[in-house]
Amino acid sequence: MAGNGENAAWAVPRRGFLEVACDESGSDGENLTGGNTDVFAHASVRLPVESAAACVQQVRDRIRSPASEYKANHLLREKHRAVLEWLLAPAGPIHGNAQVHLIEKAYFVVDRAVDLLLGDAADALGLYRAGRGEFGDELWREFLTAANQLLRVRNDGAPQEPVDAFFRTVQALRRADRRTELAGTLDRLTVSRARADSYRARLVDGPTLIPVLNPLLPAIVNTAAFWSAGGRPVRLVHDRQNMLTPERIAWIGETARRAGIGFGGLRLVHSVLDPRVQLADFLAGIARKIASDELNGQGDTALTALLRPYVDPASIWGDERSWAVLGRTRAQERSPVR
């Protein structure tokens, strides 16, 4: 499908850069445990502009909706199942030239809280996977909500209330714990209040440049890591987002540099003006829905199998059962950049 000229992103890369277009689905800001979605998906597409435009037109021709702008929901309707399967299929127009980075929001909260308070997220996965089964739905939900409130920038109550609420739930987990392998993690969290107080004090002093809980920024870094893994630096074209201020784009670049990622910059565009971004928008919305259904035990076996080749092995995902069908084998995984 490679075209000619400067739009043939991987065949004739401008100044040696691979250009990849991106969009996301499932953004609820910092409300990760009480928002409208439980999965965040960041999709990227590596196609020439002409090929992407032809693909979008094929979607329109097959669906034949009068809508001026097509979204993932058009493809997710049951009556358009054949179009969705065509788009994702191994012989389809984007296979091998698209990727999606998935973030399970509840696990992301635990991961970020453990990293902040213990200086290392290594214990987050064990705590998360044991959580609901060990402590019960109600107590585990209280812990997730408290961790979300602790980390989020916005706080409508007393300055110390998020810290107090979080450590009350940690104490409740300790009292309920019957698993010796979790005891050490809970004990270390119990004595980490100084770190939590320091973090909240910094937020009171002024707005933070990089919100800890927003999944978009690490997703972009991981997207750059995925596409540059072959040795060619990547330049990203992204749908416009208020979150992507010049300062945060600079943070993405610096984080990528420290991780040894070949990141050549990020350019913001209106999605309707770039068919590659429109395809990324389709894939992000489709992937979020399929992954969320699988996470909640309502997965469609055929669609999950079609999505799996697109899923970034470094996706930030905690649920073991759903990752076994969504993700790659453990040997294929790489560590995400957080």
Pick from 145, 148, 139: nearest CA to 116:
148
Domain ranges of the chain: 5-104+214-318, 106-205
DSSP 3-state assignment of 330? Answer: helix
Residue 35 pLDDT grade (very low, low, confident, very high; cuts 50, 70, 90): confident
Q: What is the pLDDT of residues 144-168, one digit of tens each?
A: 999 999 999 887 777 789 999 999 9
188 backbone dihedrals φ, ψ, rounded to 5°: -70, -35
What is the structure's pLDDT at 12?
33
Confidence of residue 44 (pLDDT cuts 50, 70, 90): very high
DSSP assignment string, 46-90: ---HHHHHHHHHHHHHHH----SS--HHHHHSGGGHHHHHHHHST
pLDDT of residue 163: 96
Q: What is the pLDDT of residue 117?
A: 97
Give the position of tokens 């829905």: 289
- Confidence at residue 80, expressed as pLDDT on a 0 to 100 scale: 95
pLDDT at res. 333: 62
Among 90, 36, 25, which Cα is nearest to 278's?
A: 25
Could you report the per-residue pLDDT of 54-102, keeping only the tens digit for each? 999 999 999 988 877 888 999 999 999 999 999 999 999 999 999 999 9
Q: Provide the β-strand partners of residue 41.
A: 25, 102
SS3 content of the chain, % helix, strand, coil (to 5): 55, 10, 35
Instruction: Name the amino acid, one letter, at 323.
Output: W
CATH of domain 5-104+214-318: 3.30.420
Phi, then psi, of 206 in degrees rounded to 5: 175, 160
User: pLDDT tens digits, residue range 256-274?
Assistant: 999 999 999 999 998 888 9
Phi first, then psi: give them for residue 18, nearest 5 degrees.
Answer: -90, 125
- Can you give the pLDDT at residue 14? 52
> Which tokens belong to 97?
């030239």
pLDDT in tens, 272-315: 889 999 999 999 999 999 999 999 999 999 999 999 999 999 99
So what's the pLDDT on residue 13? 45
Please list, in sequence order, all residues whose beta carbon lies within 8 angstroms of the beta carbon of residue 37, skipping any fewer than 6 positions away.
25, 26, 28, 105, 288, 292
Tell me the percentage of the chain whose pLDDT exceeds 70.
93
What is the structure's pLDDT at 2?
32
Angle at 325 between CA 323 and CA 327, to 5 degrees: 55
Token readout for 86 is: 């065509």
pTM above 0.85, yes or no: yes
pLDDT given for residue 143 in this prediction: 98
Burial 55-88 (b: 16+ CB within 10 A, else e): bbeebeeebeeeeeebebebbbeeebeebbebbb
Q: What is the pLDDT of residue 6?
A: 31
Cα–Cα–Cα angle for 32, 38, 40, rounded to 5 degrees: 85
What mean pLDDT value characterizes the chain? 90
| Mean pLDDT, range 233-251, rounded to an integer | 94
Question: Residue 328 pLDDT more than 90?
Answer: no
Decide if 176 contacts 135 (C-beta within 8 A).
yes
Give the residue with greater pLDDT, 329 vs 130: 130
